Amino acid sequence: MSRNKKVLDLKKRMEKIHDGGGAQAVEKQKAMGKLTARERIIALLDKETFQEYDIFVKHDNTDFGMQDKELPGDGVIIGTGSILGQPVAIFAQDFTVAGGSLGFMHARKITKIMDYALNMKIPLIGINDSGGARIQEGVNALAGYGEIFFRNTLSSGVIPQISVILGPCAGGAVYSPALTDFVFVVDKISKMFITGPEVIKTVLGEDISAEALGGARVHAETSGNAHFFANSEEECFHQIRRLISMLPPANNKGAEKIEPAQPLRKYNIKKIVPDDPSQPYDVRDVIRALADNSDFMEVMEMFAANAVIGFGRVNGETVGFVCNQPLVLAGVLDCDSSDKIARFIRFCDSFNIPIITLEDLPGYLPGIDQEHAGVIRHGAKILYAYSESTVPKITIIMRKAYGGGYIAMGSRHLRSDFVFAWPQAEIAVMGAEGAANIIFKKEIQEAEDPVKMRQIKIDEYREKFANPYVAASKGYVDAVISPEDTRKFIERALHVSATKDVKRPMKKHGIPPF
């Protein structure tokens, strides 16, 4: 065969594989409002940067008549490309080919690109759209999942791992996304569950839709399994590109520093936070008053909304914001918000991203429901995460910092490098109202006007104890600062802590309160 004929033969072979499961299967995919696997990769990556590997891989299963079935690419596409110039590794399951089911060679392709990502120290992006394990391959399919999970764990904390759920992701398949750093879901398209609606109906006799069981909104709002929610695949890809722009490619490198910019003038930090500690406000506006261009990318926005976490930049450098949200439950810490905060701190620490804590909370959420749900164990995760982290840590106490909440939210005692407080900050074991009721109980009861006496004692307690100066006098607060000077203090703290080097006791690993 001549060279030209061989080239033509190559093109025909590739075109056949590019057709996936065929025109009918592709049409069905489109009818569900979904792009094909190849279209997704092209839409996500920089133009003309995708390099595909293992396009001619075939399954080798001969059971159940599989020897006669051609599965182009064995139902998964792998390769490398770039996002905003940053090299990435990527795989996308092709639902048009055997429902994107995972067999042994399918898994081998995925683990191959995972190995590339780890060895080359570049982010890994996995697009999940699969009916699950390929039943015809039996234990080989299960072995494939195990190999993927093992590599997810090896790569954890070394390279950013991103999972995109753009179709069904069921059974054992859901554990790979759960092991990655960020999970993206799209409304009406993403489905994640261990046991599907059919199994539930058979075993429990309950009728439940896939959307209600494990749709995108369920995992973004209720379970906390998803970190980013989008209304379309296009919006989802925009979110991924934005996130990649904020992150370092691996733990041995820093995030790209860009041209510094000032926050937008419309965000006036003095006007955002009310002096009255009982008045709520949106802490995201405080973040925007501090971040370059007021640009903030919130993570897990719809889950545990009493805490706000996410990425921004200060003076061109990526930072992680960890904040209480007074708009929701007065910003208290509970089981879910503790998990949310602790996990984010550990991610930032793994990838050398400084942590800025904005504190305003009355403490942990009281009540029998929280106690029985394990708030002690969950709350301890924050203590562990802050204590374990060695990146630069800067804490701003804006208003309330009571009890265990004061300690947990990046206090000096957990080795934050800089702790600054605003003049209206209240740092105490509890709020002035509760403290006065306990400390001055007898005086209030015996007073001619108990209501008036109670207010006098509340004011007395607040004046003596519920202010930043007592903590500052002990060295627990480094400086009491004006709100409008907050960004300036953060910039200087980031600058001087850029060469921070902390040594910890030698050990294999710690034991977090999982």
- Closest by Cα among 202, 383, 195, 356 to 289: 356
> What are φ and ψ of residue 112, in 5° steps?
-65, -45
Q: How far apart, in whole angstroms, are the C-alpha atoms of residue 409 and residue 425?
A: 14
CA distances from 312 to 237, 243, 290 (A): 19, 10, 9
Q: Which one has a higher pLDDT value, 275 or 159?
A: 159
Beta pairing, strands 317-324 & 307-314: antiparallel
pLDDT for 176 equals 96
Percent above pLDDT 70 for the chain:
98
* Weakest-pLDDT range from 35-49, 132-146, 205-219, 324-338: 132-146
Residue 237: band (very low, low, confident or very high) from pLDDT cuts 50, 70, 90: very high
Query: What value does the mean pLDDT of the chain take?
Result: 93
What is the pLDDT, as a whole number, of residue 62? 60
Distance in angstroms (rounded) separating the CA atoms of residues 499 and 317: 14
Confidence tier at 63 by pLDDT (50, 70, 90) = low
Residue 53 has pLDDT above 80, yes or no: yes
183 within 8 A of 177, measured Cβ to Cβ: yes
> In the structure, what pLDDT confidence band is assigned to residue 240 with cuts at 50, 70 and 90?
very high
Q: What is the Cα–Cα distance from 390 to 500, expressed in whole angstroms?
A: 8
498: buried, middle or exposed (CB in 10 Å: 19+, 13-18, 0-12)?
Answer: exposed
Per-residue pLDDT, 65: 62
Q: How many helices (H) and strands (E) does the chain have?
A: 21, 17
Give the mean pLDDT of 230-256. Answer: 97
pLDDT value at 457 more than 90: no
pLDDT in tens, 422-450: 999 999 887 777 777 888 888 888 788 88
**Structure tokens of 267?**
């965000």
**Report field, pTM of the whole predicted structure over 0.85:** yes
Per-residue model confidence (pLDDT) at position 31: 93
Q: Span 30-47, mean pLDDT?
A: 96
Distance between alpha carbon 203 and the CA centroid of its chain, in Å?
34
Q: What's the pLDDT at 47?
A: 97
Lowest mean pLDDT among 127-141, 225-239, 273-287, 308-322: 127-141
The residue-averaged pLDDT of 328-355 equals 98
Which residues are 83's β-sheet partners? 86
Q: How would DSSP label each residue in 81-123?
A: EEETTEEEEEEEE-TTTGGG-B-HHHHHHHHHHHHHHHHHT--
**Phi/psi of residue 300, nearest 5 degrees:** 55, 45
What pLDDT, on a 0 to 100 scale, did the predictor assign at position 333? 97
Q: What is the pLDDT of residue 68?
A: 64
